[in-house]
Amino acid sequence: MLESLVHVSLTGISAGMFIWLVASGLTLIFGVLRVLNFAHGSFYMLGAYLCYTCLRYMGVDFWLGVIIGPLIVCVVGYAMERYLLRQVYDLELPYQLLLTFAMVLIFDELVKMIWGAGSIGSPTVPGLSGSIQIAGRNFPVYNIFIMVVGPLVAIGLWAFLEKSWWGRLIRAAAADREMAAAIGVRVPALYTAVFVFGAWLSAVGGALAVPYVGLLTTGMGEAVIINAFVVVVIGGLGSLQGAFLGALFIGLLNSFGTRYIPALDMFLTFILMGVVLLWRPQGFFAGVDR
Amino acid sequence: MNAALLEVRDLNKAFGNVVTAKNLSFSLVDGTLTSIIGPNGAGKSTLINILSGSIPPDSGEILFQGQDITRYPIDRRVREGLCRSFQVANVFGHLSLFENIAIPVIALKHKATSFLSSVKKDLEVKQAVDKILDRIGLLDHSHVTASALSHGDRRLLEVGIALAAKPRLLFLDEPTAGMNPVERTRILKNIRDLSAEGEVTFVIVEHDMDVVFSLSERVIVLYRGKIIGDGTPEQVKSNPQVREVYLGEEVA
Amino acid sequence: MSRYSKYVIAAAVLAILLGIGLFSSRFILYLTMRVMILSIFAMGYNILFGRTGLLSFGHAAFFATGAYGAALWSMHVSSSHPLLGILTGIVAAAFLALIIGFFCVRHTEIYFSMLTLAFGMMVFSLMWNLRDITGGDDGLSGIVRGSISLGFFKIPIMKDSQFYFLVLFFFALSSLIIYRIYQSPFGLVLAGIRENHIRTEFAGLGVRRYRLAAFVVSGAFAGLAGALSLLLQSNVTPFSAHWSHSADPVLVSLMGGLQTFSGPFVGSILFVVLREFIERFTHNWMLWFGLILLGIILGFRGGIVGSTSQFLKRFSR
């Protein structure tokens, strides 16, 4: 009994880390650009598909795939922000949301067109394959790796934002963009940089997910963005801490739900979201206003 | 009839270290045109925001016509008869002047849930709207879009929207800000006339001393969240504390 | 545009629609019915989006609920009272909109949009998972379009050529109701909320309440459209609740013109025609949908009716 509890928890935490990677980028982009990027799940999906392509068709090492795939997504993200999103910053909010939404549809179809609508099997990672014994059962080594990466990213982001000069710039622009522009910060360039960085985080999540999920589908972007949305509602839109803890929580909830009440499945996360909305509508951590 | 229209008891509000209201207590009586003055940062805007319902106080009570409205949401306070206008013209930009005034009129006449009848054909609404528009001198412009108005006209519309809700107590936040002398005269005359008619009690937050002293029957002076002067314009003018605060500010 | 000319145009449109019903081929009938159903969906949606200023990404859920409601009525209660089935669909959709709306309207803008999407997908996953009720990803099919029994006589709607007039009836009725809503005090209040919700509060109106009302009304019309769609296609799947379908009324309203009454109708015609055309050449309708949406956002936000009226205004100077 205890063994399965431990296992379900560990599984939940590792699953949550992927959601965290997507939610972190989403939160960062929202915090600075004040835009909710619906297409963030698509970056995750593209990161995964591109990484897979590197492995499968270019015979490249997994780690190189984790580097190359997201880099390509960075280019895509750059193009999207610079040439599309930038055009609509001055418009009312609905248009910005609709633009990112249109991109989801476009990305989804493009992926289907390039890689086919069916699912693709994904390979294991040499060196991180296999499992170790935890609490009397086998637990994949790769998952442990993910459970380390997630918090590392969290700490890295925190250190970056709090301690580095760039981080301070970003926080300043997030708090007051007019002031930042007034003191000489090139706000448009900063926006692009943050957007690309956020996209990169999400794509890395996707690339790292390749050995984890076992099967790449065109629905993976959709599933992760919904989870990411629930996470930011719970954690508070604009709060990175909230996103991390929220992702952890949702990962655990999904894991326990799948194991003990499979009939309810995704519904559990929505119930939780509903409860949080009634109890603490702005989320549990102070975020950014909107 | 001499019962207080508004009674404020021990109002406190602080934003972090900045105290904008400290044990603030005062009463307003029906029919007395009151001005609230004070240097910048004295807490005038915060006070209006708290009284009108935009911001909750940290502690204290607000009684309006004997009722405790401290917890009431904004729209409920308006329905009770406590209204405000804004310093920066806060109008319905893309709607016509008629529609701007019609909205509070519709609310007042409890017609907001009516979804199959036509606004344009509603004589009761039309009469009420036209009356207000006429009052503020904008009847000819009733089909003009609000965003196309001049600044001064927009301020007039601003007050018009507040008046259309037929409040008993109306807070005007710097009603003459940014107006040219002609516009200013017009709005002051309107306020004076309406005040004399006795249906609305005005409380004006102002910086312009001419306006304050020519219009008000009572002046309340705020400084750092506390009342340091309260009385007729003459009394306040000769209050040493008030003079120090204002003169001190000028010298500094 | 004078009131007189509005009536003339409305009468002309009605006449054309009647004519199509009486004289066209099955294919044109089918397309026109799709246009009318989509119009009902979009006109109702526009009350919330164009008029009240709230962008919902979850309205496909109400459309689907209307469809499932009518389907389940037909399957489990009676297939010979399709009008009641439609009513069931509308009520179910409105009720769901009430619940979801309650959670969503307390927030605005970004949160609102995000929440509607999340709740919409929740409904989608429910419809997918509750196999026993909804048939899972296969959906429900083979729904019989029974005749409408009104006491002593029955109105047959089995054939498309007959059903067409029922759709036309609901289209005309919906248009009339929505037109009246736009002209009403309630409609003006919604515009006020869109323009300046703070000032609306200060006018003495509880904004949340009216937003919820707009949400429920638009949900009800979505349900009506869904129910009619069910009867037209004789089947329904969970995919009709998917977020990609929630974008349909948005695109339609944008194409036709957001702030106009006739925009959704014009947009629907364009949408259905475009879709038919594009689907002849490619399977990737969604890609084109996204591209068109993108194009409109970037360049053509007034929509057809909006741009046309602006053009006419400039012309008449």
User: Do C and A have ≥3 inter-chain CB pairs under 8 A?
Assistant: yes
Among candidates C310, C192, C297, which has minimal Cα distance to C253? Answer: C297
Structure tokens belonging to residue C23: 């004289």
Cβ atoms of C226 and C31 within 8 Å: the answer is: no
Distances from the Cα of A250 to the Cαs of B173, C237, C258, in angstroms? 47, 28, 38
Residues 6+ apart with CB under 8 A from B184: B176, B211
Structure tokens belonging to residue C189: 């209040």
Cβ atoms of B180 and B52 within 8 Å: the answer is: no
If residue B15 lies in a helix (H) or strand (E), which one and from where to where? strand B4-15
Torsion region of B233: left, alpha or beta (phi above 0 gives left; psi -120 to 50 gives alpha): alpha
Contact criterion met (CB < 8 Å) for A104 and C290 = yes
Strands of B218-223's sheet in order across: B82-84, B169-173, B201-205, B34-37, B218-223, B226-231
The DSSP symbol for A124 reads P
DSSP per-residue codes, A47-70 = HHHHHHHHHHHH---HHHHHHHHH
Mutate to test the interface with B, among C181, C182, C199 (most CBs of B within 10 A): C199
pLDDT, position C12: 92
pLDDT, position B203: 93
Per-residue model confidence as pLDDT tens digits over C290-307: 999 999 888 866 666 666
Spatial distance between the Cα atoms of C267 and C279, rounded to a whole number of angstroms? 18
pLDDT, position A75: 96
Integer Rg of chain C from CA: 19
Cβ atoms of B89 and B97 within 8 Å: the answer is: no
Spatial distance between the Cα atoms of B23 and B11, rounded to a whole number of angstroms? 5
Query: What are phi and psi for residue A288, nearest 5 degrees?
Result: -115, 150
pLDDT (mean) for A70-79: 95
Residues of chain B under the 50 pLDDT cut: 1, 250-252
Terminal CA-to-CA distance of chain C, rounded, Å? 14
Spatial distance between the Cα atoms of B65 and C21, rounded to a whole number of angstroms? 64
Among A216-220, C57-61, C303-307, name the one with the lowest average pLDDT.
C303-307
Strand partners, B82: B169
Residues 6+ apart with CB under 8 A from A65: A50, A51, A52, A54, A55, A207, A210
Query: What are phi and psi for residue A49, nearest 5 degrees?
Result: -65, -40
Cβ atoms of A117 and A218 within 8 Å: the answer is: yes
DSSP β-ladder status, C153-155 and C148-150: antiparallel
Calculate the dihedral angle through the C-alpha atoms of B78, B83, B89, B94, rounding to the nearest 10 degrees: 30
* Predicted confidence band of residue A290 (pLDDT cuts 50, 70, 90): very low
Structure tokens belonging to residue B65: 């016509």
C-chain CB neighbours of A99 within 8 Å are 294, 297-298
pLDDT (mean) for A278-283: 77
Spatial distance between the Cα atoms of C53 and C193, rounded to a whole number of angstroms? 8
pLDDT, position A289: 45
Sign (positive/negative) of CA torsion A86, A88, A92, A94? negative
Nearest to C294 among A102, A263, A278 (CB): A102
C-chain CB neighbours of A233 within 8 Å are 111, 114-115, 118
What mean pLDDT, rounded, does chain A reach? 86
Contact criterion met (CB < 8 Å) for B78 and C202 = yes
What is the CB neighbour count within 10 angstroms for residue A275? Answer: 11
The reply to whether C299 touches chain A by the CB within 8 Å rule is: no
Q: Which chains touch C (3 or more CB pairs under 8 A)?
A: A, B
Per-residue model confidence as pLDDT tens digits over C100-133: 999 899 887 888 998 899 899 899 988 988 888 8
pLDDT at C17 over 60: yes
Residues 6+ apart with CB under 8 A from B74: B52, B53, B54, C201, C202
Terminal CA-to-CA distance of chain A, rounded, Å? 45
Those of residues 159-178 in C touching chain B at CB distance below 8 A are: 177
Per-residue model confidence as pLDDT tens digits over A254-278: 888 888 877 776 788 888 888 888 7
Contacts of the segment C123-128: beta carbons below 8 A, 24+ positions apart: C123/C58, C123/C61, C123/C64, C123/C65, C123/C96, C123/C241, C124/C60, C124/C61, C124/C64, C124/C238, C124/C241, C124/C242, C124/C243, C125/A265, C125/A266, C125/A267, C126/A267, C127/C64, C127/C68, C127/C238, C127/C241, C128/C238
Q: What is the ipTM of this complex?
A: 0.89
Q: Which chains touch A (3 or more CB pairs under 8 A)?
A: C
* Predicted confidence band of residue C1 (pLDDT cuts 50, 70, 90): low
Residues 6+ apart with CB under 8 A from B87: B45, B173, B174, B177
Spatial distance between the Cα atoms of C48 and C221, rounded to a whole number of angstroms? 11
Question: Vertex A179, ends A173 and A181: CA angle to 5°?
Answer: 70
pLDDT at C65 over 50: yes
pLDDT, position B45: 86
* Predicted confidence band of residue C171 (pLDDT cuts 50, 70, 90): very high
* Predicted confidence band of residue A62 (pLDDT cuts 50, 70, 90): confident
pLDDT (mean) for C52-61: 94
